[in-house]
Structure 1
Amino acid sequence: MGLEDLVAVAYGRATVVADEDALRLVGERHAVLQQAQAAGAVYGANTGVGANRHERSGADGAHPLRLLRSHCAAVGPVEDDETARAAMTVRLNQILAGGSGISRRVAEALAEAVYAGAVPTLHSWGAIGTGDLASLAELGLTLAGERPWRSGRGPVTTIDATDALPLISSSALTVAISALALDRVAGLLRASIVVGALSFLALRGNPSAYDTVVHEARAHPCQAEVAGALRALVAGSVTPVRIQDPFGLRVMPQVTAPALQSARQLRDVLGAELNAAVENPLVLADGVHHHGQFHTATLASHLDAVRNTFLPVLSLSSARLGLLMRPDLTGLRAFLADGPAGSSGLMISEYVVQDLLTEIRVGMQAVAAGTLTISLGLEEHASFATQGARSLRSMTQLAPTMLAAELVAAVRALRMAPGRLVDGGAREAYELAASVLKEDMADRPLGEDLSRAAALLPELASIERS
């Protein structure tokens, strides 16, 4: 399964059917786990978990539900339907890789729920990058019939001793949050190039900063690609008014390129997570293997990288917004105001952007730097990938308004000086935005314009991609 496939399922544009050969493998590996359980101790199947791993569980058959109930913390914000559906799909695809030892019955029940669009209630809190135990325990209890499906009609099945831990031994929710956030980041990066090009035209920028030879001289990954996209968007622009532009225009390729590269690297990591057998213990044809594959250090470090490289793209957008407010650079009125002397124009949009930018910066600590000791000191390290995923998601919720503020300003400037616009993708983007943004440039509330501009960003991203 690819990332695009997962996103399509999450948003209801596609569904999945479990492959019969994969289900057959699930059944075979379940038999291996049952044999190992009968022969001796198997973590979580006939023992406790965590610091209780050396204690043999009772033979009363209640252990699996006790395990799920005890791990079902059920606190914090409730994940939306798209995220919950993505988490279920991730977990199903991982189970079908054949390493969990879970019963075919439970795998088929989960597949049925995903196919039917049924969604459980999944709370956010309780994971630290070593498995989404609390949230997946909620899924397990929903499949067992102890919790209702939040929406849709899902199946109910029996959870046996060899099903409980294999079901929750995954970071499926963390992977789902990461994947959906990354999909939004990718779109926002493409949109930022288009918005930046409109600002360039409004500011009568100098395209020499995007020359091919410049970027061949130091060929960092993705840099020539971004410069090429900008060259295409601003081709035919008016004679530049400066020998060198401010950084907001001049360094767009250098700042956007590392964000594109880190996003693509995270995509590869998530592809591996999505299709992997990650469970502990891992059940293979030769028996049961206990290991540390639940630790998501690689995912955590790449989430940190995307956040660290996406932030400069947003701060550079805020810099361009500031440039568009300056009459010495635009040749237009301060703040792109239109009306009586002293009109504020788009002045307050800078405040909005700096508020959001600071909100993001407050949560920018690298999650991989965290430490802990839990479970009687026997679990003394974690990746905190879950917190990195949530932080990236938060960035993608705030970033559209920041880019929207720049878009509103660029469109207004080009309305005031339409001769600066060029044909091609830039004109297409301008006309699209101008069709939904009010022409009235008198002082008035700007919130509606910002919301409309933010909603346009996915369409602008498709212009850059084309």
Structure 2
Amino acid sequence: MLLDGAALTAEQVRAVARDGAAVRVHPDGVTRANAAHQAVQALGATGPVYGRTTGVGANRLVAVEYESSSGPVVLGPEGSVISREVALHPPARHDAHGLRVLRSHAGGAGPLLDPISVRAMLTVRLNQLAAGGSGVEPGLLAGLEMALNHGLTPPVHAFGGIGTGDLPALAVTALCLLGEVPWRGGTMEPVPFDPADALAFISSNAGSIGEAALACADLSELLRASTVTTALAFLACDGNSEAYEAVVHLARPHPGQQTVAARLRDLLAGQALKPARIQDPYSYRAVPQVHGPALDAVVALERTLGIELNAPAENPLVDPVGNRVLHNANFHTAYLGLSLDAMRNALYQTAALSVARLSLLLEPAFTGLPPFLAAGPPGSSGLMILEYVAHSALGALRLNATPTALATAVVSRGVEEHAPFSSQAARNSLDAVASYRVVLAAELVAAVRALRMRGTPPVDGPLADAYAYAAERLSGRLDDRPLDQDVEDAAALLPALAAY
């Protein structure tokens, strides 16, 4: 996969992170990175550059590029030297400061992240560097490319980012490149790394953005599969398709609502529909109105990620064309955090409707079948436990849906007095998607079983193909038995169902 710093998508991040797709940096990305590197080296020799010639955070006014007889030089608001001591001479290298930044910031804690999430981070950071605003030397791009293609990941811990830079995760990545910290999954030769590039390399939210991209790609797929699963459940409960007619949704034309209704009409076209009620419960009647907002939220998240994945959002930003270094706050990820919060809230509503449909599938009044779709002696439990499983997953999703934007933090001696906690929003989103996958899998197991017991599979068209695909791969046993494998098998079918 060619990373050019301009066109990376969430699906492509997932392809590299989860499927192991190989990466290569576009030559234009290397050229941009080199131009920024040359510019910042020249600018750093003539004026202050945050993190390169100064300390970081509350130490931003402490110069590190000069040594004096009585300690560090202190800079004034405009970068002028305001200490009493006169700077004597510039040292030959700035290794000590850059290495201190990396070592001191590689302080994550908690469990190690799974390699998929870390590979997503590396993919995003490599693409960002190819956008050419960081000023790091181009050799670092080659190092990240090599690590990804050799299946290596740094030991990244879960806790450390608060939405203003995934500093611990990227600092330990830099130490792996330097050879100070071992990679997970193998070894590679240390990468030449000018420690003066330390802050420029770690000034990124690549970890949060990577996890958000994984969640977005997965959820987009699951929402497409959910419409197919809903249509199967609808047939098993003799639903009334009047609620999906085009004139209804033209009267209230939200984009997602119209898309879901149109998809349901396509799936149900040609089926032998025999509505059992003048109007259905909300779990069928309101599918477009509830699934639609989730679809719109994912579209909004995709739009946000389209910018974040390809943005040179470092602080400071190197502008080689204007020959400037611009100190800024593009590292603040309020857009991402708020988009993720909105997506999880919409997803909870969609999942709650799926759980309600599952309950109706287990109810004889809606299917004409025995309670819980049981087929054994009187008192058999059938799929009874799946209601509990689905509600358990829904409960977890409810917790994950809590808006992270309600939190904030004041750190670094009050200099950095706001944080969006988008790192937590991304992690919560991945967890929420996993919970939704369980909910949807339970509904699919019940819908296929109900149609099988009724002997009324869909006829013709994509819905018939989807049913045949699922029924062939899900167990046809109707006796009381453990159902964990059924749910796991159904979850594995969802990506394929999304394509019908």
Shorter-chain TM-score tier:
over 0.9
Report the alpha carbon displacement of residue 13 of structure 1 after superposing the two structures with TM.
4.8
1:178-197 → structure 2 map (5 Å cutoff):
178-197=212-231
Matched residue, 1:45: 52
Name the SS for the 1:77 alignment partner.
Answer: strand
Matched residue, 1:25: 32
More displaced 10-residue stretch of structure 1: 99-108 or 345-354: 99-108
Question: Which of 272, 275, 289 is matched with 1:237 structurally?
Answer: 272
Write the distance in 1 (CA, Å) between the matches of 2:356 and 2:19: 38
Are 2:311 and 1:276 aligned?
A: yes
Matched residue, 1:432: 469
1:234-313 → structure 2 map (5 Å cutoff):
234-235=268-269, 236-285=271-320, 286-313=323-350
RMSD: 1.5
Write the distance in 1 (CA, Å) between the matches of 2:25 and 2:455: 55
Moved over 4 A (4+): none
Are 2:108 and 1:108 aligned?
A: no
Q: Deviations over 1:131-187 (max 9, x none)?
A: 000000010000011011212443412332431001100000101000011111011
Matched residue, 1:419: 456
The letter of the residue matching 1:365 is T
Partners of 2:139 and 2:193 within 8 A in 1: no
Write the distance in 2 (CA, Å) between the matches of 1:30 and 1:258: 44
Unaligned runs of 5+ in 1: none
Question: Which of 357, 361, 378 is matched with 1:320 structurally?
Answer: 357
Name the SS for the 1:443 alignment partner.
Answer: coil
Report the alpha carbon displacement of residue 9 of structure 1 after superposing the two structures with TM.
1.7
Q: Deviations over 1:401-460 (max 9, x none)?
A: 111111111111111112363322222222222212222212111111111111111111
Are 2:132 and 1:98 aligned?
A: yes
Write the distance in 1 (CA, Å) between the matches of 2:395 and 2:215: 20
Write the distance in 2 (CA, Å) between the matches of 1:67 and 1:419: 66
Matched residue, 1:353: 390
Q: Deviations over 1:162-214 (max 9, x none)?
A: 31001100000101000011111011101111111010000011111111111
Report the alpha carbon displacement of residue 118 of structure 1 after superposing the two structures with TM.
2.7
Q: Deviations over 1:323-371 (max 9, x none)?
A: 1111111111111111111111111110111111111212322111112
Report the alpha carbon displacement of residue 22 of structure 1 after superposing the two structures with TM.
2.3
Are 2:248 and 1:219 aligned?
A: no
Name the SS for the 1:328 alignment partner.
Answer: helix
1:24-173 → structure 2 map (5 Å cutoff):
24-57=31-64, 59=91, 61-173=95-207
Are 2:408 and 1:371 aligned?
A: yes
Partners of 1:145 and 1:156 within 8 A in 2: yes
Which has the larger Rg?
2
More displaced 10-residue stretch of structure 1: 153-162 or 190-199: 153-162
Partners of 1:144 and 1:159 within 8 A in 2: yes
Length-normalised TM-score, structure 1 = 0.96
Matched residue, 1:407: 444
Partners of 2:53 and 2:63 within 8 A in 1: yes
Write the distance in 2 (CA, Å) between the matches of 1:114 and 1:416: 49
Write the distance in 2 (CA, Å) between the matches of 1:447 and 1:12: 25
Write the distance in 2 (CA, Å) between the matches of 1:61 and 1:27: 20
Partners of 1:103 and 1:162 within 8 A in 2: no
Write the distance in 1 (CA, Å) between the matches of 2:198 and 2:32: 19
Question: Which of 458, 470, 479 is matched with 1:442 structurally?
Answer: 479
Q: Deviations over 1:86-110 (max 9, x none)?
A: 2111111111111101112223322
The letter of the residue matching 1:453 is A
Question: Which of 9, 13, 17 is matched with 1:10 structurally?
Answer: 17
Write the distance in 2 (CA, Å) between the matches of 1:115 and 1:337: 50
Write the distance in 2 (CA, Å) between the matches of 1:419 and 1:103: 64
Write the distance in 1 (CA, Å) between the matches of 2:451 and 2:113: 41
Partners of 1:33 and 1:162 within 8 A in 2: no
Write the distance in 1 (CA, Å) between the matches of 2:31 and 2:258: 48
Unaligned runs of 5+ in 2: 1-7, 68-90
Report the alpha carbon displacement of residue 68 of structure 1 after superposing the two structures with TM.
0.4
Write the distance in 2 (CA, Å) between the matches of 1:49 and 1:443: 62
Q: Deviations over 1:373-399 (max 9, x none)?
A: 111111110111111100000011122
Name the SS for the 1:14 alignment partner.
Answer: coil
The letter of the residue matching 2:120 is A
Write the distance in 1 (CA, Å) between the matches of 2:119 and 2:337: 22
Report the alpha carbon displacement of residue 61 of structure 1 after superposing the two structures with TM.
2.5
More displaced 10-residue stretch of structure 1: 229-238 or 198-207: 229-238
Write the distance in 1 (CA, Å) between the matches of 2:348 and 2:338: 16
Report the alpha carbon displacement of residue 12 of structure 1 after superposing the two structures with TM.
3.8
Write the distance in 1 (CA, Å) between the matches of 2:404 and 2:303: 20
Report the alpha carbon displacement of residue 318 of structure 1 after superposing the two structures with TM.
0.1
